[in-house]
């Protein structure tokens, strides 16, 4: 399947887990999503990838902050 779709799915599952206060699970899922994005060809869907990376990293930082509260 499409790896960007897989990353997006993991991102959205992480959001749901975060809403349910399952921070560890959310962190695990967003880390995998980020790893998938980082491995993708820079030329492929570069605007989509760039926007997704910004959102994913921002969400990752938010989760880390929640974990350490």
From residue 64, give the alpha-carbon distance in Å to each of 13, 18, 37, 41, 42. Answer: 17, 11, 19, 27, 27
Task: Examine the pLDDT at 49 and tell me if it is beyond 70.
Answer: no
Q: So what's the pLDDT on residue 41?
A: 64
Taking the model in full, what pTM does it have?
A: 0.84
Tell me the three-class secondary structure of 1-13, residue by residue.
CCHHHHHHHHHHH
Q: So what's the pLDDT on residue 4?
A: 83
Task: Please provide the average confidence, as pLDDT, over all residues in the chain.
Answer: 88
Bigger pLDDT: 59 vs 42: 59
Alpha-carbon span 46 to 42, nearest angstrom: 6
Alpha-carbon span 4 to 26, nearest angstrom: 18
Give per-residue burial for 12-29: e unless 16+ CB within 10 Å, then b: ebbeebbeeeebeebbeb
């Amino acid at each position: 399947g499409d790896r960007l779709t897989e990353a997006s799915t993991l991102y959205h599952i992480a959001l749901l887990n975060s809403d349910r206060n399952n921070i560890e699970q959310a962190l695990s899922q967003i880390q995998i999503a980020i790893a998938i994005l980082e491995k993708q060809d820079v030329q492929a869907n570069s605007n989509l990838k760039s926007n997704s990376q910004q959102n994913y990293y921002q969400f990752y930082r938010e989760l880390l902050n929640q974990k350490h509260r």
